[in-house]
Structure formats: C-alpha cells, structure tokens
Amino acid sequence: MNTRNTQGPLLMVACTGNICRSPMAEAVLRYQLALRGVQAQVASCGLDAPVGRTPHKFALQVNHDRGIPIAADKRSEACVSAALKHATVLLVMENHHRHTVLRRYPFASGKTFLLGHWQGREIADPLHEPLPAFEQVFDQIDQGCSAWIDHMLQAGLLPAPSHS
C-alpha cells in the first residue's frame, strides 16, 4: 500500500472499487494535509476493488482540473486487514461500506466513519454517471476532507501543524 509519506498517523479512505471516489479523496486529503503542514500518511482501498486498475478517466480529469491531481501511479487496491489495523481512521463513502467493514473487519468498528459525516451525507458512486457527477463528488469529498482534518486536529488524532 503506497502511502507516499512515512511520517504520522495513517488515514485510510475506502469506497467500492478504488477507481473513483477513494482515489479522488486520497489526493484531496493528502493535498489538504500538506497545505496545513500536517504530517500524516494517506492511502485508499476498495472493498470490492478490481486490483490494479487505473482511476476512472473522469476522476483523473476532475482532480486535475481542480489542481489536485491523482498520483500517476495510482492503481486500485483491495482493503486488507493489516493496513486497516494500522489506520487511525477509515473514511468510507456510504453507510453500506461502513456495514461491510464492520462485518469483515470488526476490529475497525471504532474508527470507521462516513467521509461526509460532518455534512450529514453519503457520497454517491459516480461510476456510470457523466462528468458533472464527478465534479459534484469532488466538491463533497473536498468538504468532507476539510471537516475531518479539523475534527482530527481538535481531537488530537493528528499532530499539530508544522510550518517549517
């Protein structure tokens, strides 16, 4: 699992296939943490991922257009218990993802939450939708990531920002 940063807590993002929402969120979360000077590892996975696939073309396009590109070497990965055990938090997109995680990985029950929790929403899968659906998903992910970083900083789950 490529976390791109070897320091700080591990923040995981998961969706169904790890080709649309979670790669988008992985890039956004990493970007927002860097902007704030917060050291953390970020990774994404899919609960039913077709391992090794590149992200969806619209996910790549929207993130690129918004100035937060998905890593060129990003490939879909399956969620595995070893990574989930090390994660400080696992952010999922829909309630059924949370239920799947709790059924498969009961040890993750206290650290699995909706990415859109603070906005009171699930983030729908845009897989078979046109480009505007991916743009809407990006906005929801952006808001969710920002709110989670705020809350994790307040709760002491993330190290204080370093502005060096």
Please report, for the domain that includes residue 85, its CATH number: 3.40.50.2300
Give the model's confidence band at 141: pLDDT under 50 very low, under 70 low, under 90 confident, else very high. Answer: very high
Is residue 68 one of the residues assigned to a domain? yes
Is residue 74 one of the residues assigned to a domain? yes
Query: Residue 125 and residue 117: Cα distance in Å, rounded?
Result: 16
Is residue 161 one of the residues assigned to a domain? no
Q: Indicate whether 3 pLDDT > 80.
A: no
Is residue 121 one of the residues assigned to a domain? yes
* CA dist 134 → 24, 34, 140 (Å): 9, 23, 10
Is residue 105 one of the residues assigned to a domain? yes
* CA-wise closest residue to 51 among 27, 19, 73: 19
Q: What is the CA radius of gyration of the chain?
A: 14
Is residue 36 one of the residues assigned to a domain? yes
In tens, the pLDDT along 47-75 reads 999 899 999 999 999 999 999 999 999 99
Is residue 160 one of the residues assigned to a domain? no
Q: Which domain holds residue 73?
A: 10-154
Is residue 5 one of the residues assigned to a domain? no
In tens, the pLDDT along 66-115 reads 999 999 999 999 999 999 999 999 999 999 999 999 999 999 999 999 99
Rounded to 5°, angle at Cα 116 from 84 and 65: 95
Q: What is the mean pLDDT of the chain?
A: 94
Domains held by the chain: number: 1
In tens, the pLDDT along 118-127 reads 999 999 999 9
Model pTM score:
0.94
Say whether 133 sits in a helix, a strand or coil.
helix
